[in-house]
Amino acid sequence: MDFACALLHHYFLIPSYAFFCFFLLLFKHFSCFFDYVNVFFDSNAIKIALIFDYHNHSICMC
């Protein structure tokens, strides 16, 4: 998964790749940060996380 995410991160400016990479990030968050699972069920929190990661160019980081 990390290799695929890194590969997609190279094409960061392509929206479809960026969204796919965000979903990989979200999946990794579910597996890495169980304490915050309830936060990610909030659709507004997901949107905020997407915007935050998009502007910080860290979509592929767990």
pLDDT digits (tens, 9 = 90+) for 20-60: 667 777 666 555 444 444 455 555 555 555 555 554 544 44
Confidence at residue 48, expressed as pLDDT on a 0 to 100 scale: 54
In a domain, 47, yes or no: yes
Residues of the domain holding 44? 32-57
In a domain, 37, yes or no: yes
In a domain, 46, yes or no: yes
Confidence at residue 18, expressed as pLDDT on a 0 to 100 scale: 63
pTM of the full predicted structure?
A: 0.25
In a domain, 21, yes or no: no
In a domain, 3, yes or no: no
In a domain, 12, yes or no: no
* Domain count within the chain: 1
Note every long-range contact of 52-59, with CB atoms under 8 Å and residues 24 or more positions apart, other chains counting.
53/22, 53/25, 54/18, 54/22, 57/12, 59/9, 59/12, 59/18, 59/21, 59/22, 59/25
In a domain, 18, yes or no: no
